[in-house]
A = this chain, B = another copy of it.
Amino acid sequence: MRTSIATVCLSGGLVEKLHACSDAGFDGVEIMDADLIGAMESPEEIRALCARLGLSIDLFQPFRDLEGVADDVFADNLRRAEAKFAVMERLGADTILVCSNAGTATIDDDDVAAAQLGALADAAAKRGIRIAYEALAWGRFVDDYRHAWRIVQLADRPNLGVCLDSFHILSRGHDPAAIEEIDGDKIFFLQLADAPALDMDVLSWSRHHRLFPGEGDFALTDFLAHVLRAGYTGPLSLEVFNDTFRQTDVVRTAGHARRSLTWLADRTAAANGWTDDLLGEPQVARGIDFIEIAGADLTAVDETLERLGFAFGGRHRSKRVRLWTAGEARIILDEQVRDETPRLTGIGLMVDDADAAVDRAVALGAPAAFRRTYAGEQELRGVASPDGTVVYWSDRPADTSWITEFEGGSPGSGACESGVVDHANVGYRWQDFDEAVLFASSVLSLTTQSSADVPGPQGLVLSQVMRTEDGVVRLPMNLAPPTAPVPDRHVAVRCDDVVAAARAARAAGLDFLRIPENYYDDLAAQFDLDPDLLAELRELDLLYDRDGSGGEFIHFYTPTIGGVFFELVERRGGYDGYGAASAPVRLAMQRRASASA
C-alpha cells in the first residue's frame, strides 16, 4: 500500500507540511495549487525538497471549471491549463486533478465535455501529463462518478482517467459498487475522506467537516474494497478539509492522518480475507481491568472511595501505589507523580492476547508507554492515547495478574461488592478529540454508539459514546467548546442496588453532589414515579432516567476531587444509555460547587 495526503489537510506553510508528511511516513503528497502559490519556494525547490524527503508528488490539484463551456471560454481554459502544466513540469508532477465544472458550465452535453477533456488530454500528453477527472458532488452537470467515467470513456485518451473521491460519492449516497465496472488502470487517483452524517448542503459539509477514515460515518472499508477490486494500484490518498485540522499542530495531525490509512487498509483487508496490509487480529476488550488515577496526594480520593463502599485492596509492594476495589471494579491510585491535581491517567483492558493488542496499537502508530517494572512484577504493556492517558492490556487470570503485587488489603469486599466499571468518561481538548475517536476505533476496537449535545452552563458539551458491541467497555468522550474548560473525567461504577449503596455511603459520611429540588419536581412530571421511589431519590440526591422500553437508570455523583469524580450507577431492565437528560443538571451543580469551593 502506497500512501499519500493532500497538503490542504494540514496547517502551516508548504515546506512545514512536506516535512510533516515525510516524518509521518507518507510515501507521497498531493500538492494543492494554493499551497504552492503561497510559498516563497520555487517549484524546483519543492521538487528537490520532496525528493530529499522521499515524497513522490502524486497529484497536482485542483484545476477547476474546464469543460462544458463555449469555445472561446474553452480556449482560455486551455491556456490556463498550459500555464499549470508548465508549473507541473517544474514540480515534476505528472498527474493533475480536473474537477467537473461547478461554476461556468453552460452546456449539458457529454460529447462536448468529452471533446474538451480530450483536447486537454492531448495538450497534456505532449508533456507526459495525465488528467484525472473527478465528479464533484456539486458539479453543475457532472456530479456522479459514473457520469464522469462515461465521459472519460467517450473521450477515450490514454492519459485521461478518473479520480475517485469517497466524499463526493458517499455524501450523495451513490452506490460505490459500480466502481468495479471501471477499468482499474483508468482509475488514475483515489482520494479518501470520512465524514459525520450531517444534513446540510454538501459543499459546506465537504469544505468544513471531512474527517480522516475511522472518525466518521462513511462505510470506507466497503468503498475501498470496490476500488481495489476494480484493480486500482495507485496510492491511497487523504483529502480532508476540516476546520480543526487546519489549526492543529502539523506534525501531529500528519501522524494522525497516516494512522487512519493503516487502520483503513487493515480493516479492508480483514473484511475481504486479503493478507496484504493485515495487522494483528484486533483484541476486543472483554472487560475493564482497572482505572488508574494519579496525583501527588490522593488522600481525598482514598477517603471518597472508602465512603463510597470500596474495599482497600492493598499497597503495591514496591511502588507508591494503592488499590481500591468494588467487586470487579478496580481503581489504582498512583502517587508517583508530581502533579498536584488528581487525574484519570490510565485504563486497563482485559483481552485474550495482550501482546497482540500492544503490537497492533504500535503498528497503528500509538507510542508505547514506559512503565518501570521491577523483578518479579508483571510487565503491563500499554500505549499512550492522543491525550496522554495510557491504555494497558492484560490477558492474565487474576491469580497471576498485577493484582497479586498488592499487599495488606482489608479483608471483606466493602458495601459495593457487586461493582464493575460501567464506563469511564473522558474529557478532551478540542485539538485531541478527532484523533481520540480514531484511537478508540482503531487501537481499542470500539465502535461509535451515539452522540449528543449536552447544554452546560458554559456552553454545549458534545458527548460521543465509544463502546464494545456487548457494552462491557464504554467510553463516553466529552468535548467542550475550545473556549471552555476541558470537561473533568470520571469513573462510573455499576452495582446491583444503587439506592442501598447511596444510603450506605451517606451513612459513611460521603459528600454527594447536591441535586436541586426542582429536578425532582420535574422527574415527577415526566415519569409519574412511584412516590416512595421519588422520595428516596430526593432524599439521597439520586438522578433518574427511563428509556422508551421502560429500562431505568439510577445514579449519583461524588464531588470533584482535582480533575476527577466518581459516579455510582444501576441499570434496570436493559437501560443502555448514560442519563444524558440529567447531565445539564449535573454540569450546573458541578459549576456551582466549584464556584463555592
Contact = CB atoms under 8 A, between A and B. Distances in A.
Interface string A31-69: 001101111111100000000000000000000000000
A212 B537 CA distance: 40
Interface string A244-259: 0011000000000000
Interface string A437-459: 00000000000000001010111
Interface in A411-431: 430-431
A272 interface: no
A40 B83 CA distance: 69
A13 B201 contact: no
A11 interface: yes
A588 B13 contact: yes
A172 to B, nearest CB: 15
A470 interface: no
Nearest to A453: B207
Contacts of A246: 455, 458-460
A208 B455 CA distance: 11
Interface in A526-540: 526, 528
A481 B247 contact: yes
B592 A40 contact: yes
Interface string A510-545: 000010111101101110100000000000000000
A199 interface: yes
Contact of A39 (B39, B84, B518): B518
Contacts of A517: 40, 42
B526 A80 contact: yes
A35 to B, nearest CB: 9
A481 B243 contact: yes
A38 B459 contact: no
A286 to B, nearest CB: 37
Contact of A247 (B38, B207, B208, B484): B484
Contacts of A592: 13, 40
A376 interface: no
B459 A11 contact: yes
A550 interface: no
Nearest to A483: B482
Count of identical protomers in the assembly: 2
A521 B83 contact: yes
A91 to B, nearest CB: 10
Nearest to A40: B516
A481 B246 CA distance: 10
A87 interface: yes
A12 interface: yes
A12 B430 contact: no
Nearest to A207: B453
A79 interface: yes
Contact of A38 (B38, B199, B431, B519): B519
Contact of A588 (B39, B87, B460, B481): B39
Contact of A200 (B87, B200, B207, B481): B200
Given A39-B588, A87-B521, A199-B200, 19 more contacts: A11-B459, A12-B458, A13-B591, A34-B455, A37-B584, A38-B584, A38-B589, A39-B516, A39-B518, A40-B589, A43-B518, A83-B521, A83-B525, A199-B201, A200-B201, A246-B455, A247-B458, A481-B482, A483-B483
28 contacts: A11-B458, A12-B457, A37-B522, A37-B584, A37-B585, A38-B457, A38-B519, A38-B589, A39-B516, A39-B588, A40-B516, A42-B517, A42-B518, A76-B528, A83-B525, A84-B525, A86-B521, A87-B518, A87-B525, A198-B200, A199-B201, A199-B204, A200-B200, A200-B201, A243-B459, A246-B460, A247-B484, A431-B483
A-B residue pairs, 5 tightest by C-beta:
A83-B525, A200-B200, A38-B588, A199-B201, A247-B459
Interface of A: 11-13, 33-34, 36-43, 76, 79-80, 83-84, 86-87, 198-201, 204, 207-208, 243, 246-247, 430-431, 453, 455, 457-460, 481-484, 514, 516-519, 521-522, 524-526, 528, 584-585, 587-589, 591-592
